[in-house]
Amino acid sequence: MLNNIGLPGLLLIAVVVLVLFGRGKISSLMGEVGKGITAFKKGVSDGQKEIEDASVEQARDVTPEEKTEKDKA
């Protein structure tokens, strides 16, 4: 059903949405969508950085712990 929507159909939908919501409402909505996408990308990159830091810390700590006098006895 959606395969038959061409350029004229998309333009008609855009005009109807513009008339219903107005230019200001659509502009503010798109601004909020942009902020959401930016926050999502920042969260993903922060998560990847945390995972990378954890793996680096794990790889760095490969030396065995020294035995204390209590363990030797």
Q: Please write down the HEC assignment for all residues of the chain.
A: CHHHCCHHHHHHHHHHHHHHHCHHHHHHHHHHHHHHHHHHHHHHHHHHHHHHHHHHHHHHCCCCCCCCHHHHC
| pLDDT, tens digit only, all 73 positions of the chain | 567 778 889 899 989 988 888 888 888 888 999 999 999 999 999 999 988 888 777 766 556 677 666 655 5
Question: Is residue 34 in a domain?
Answer: yes
- For residue 33, give its domain range: 23-57
- The CB-side HSE value for 34 (13 A sphere, CA atoms) comes to 6
- Give which of 49, 52, 68 is closest to 60, Cα–Cα: 52
Domain total of the chain? 1
DSSP assignment letter at 63: S
Q: What is the pLDDT of residue 68?
A: 62
pLDDT value, residue 44: 94
Residue 1 covered by a domain? no
Tell whether 15 is covered by a domain: no
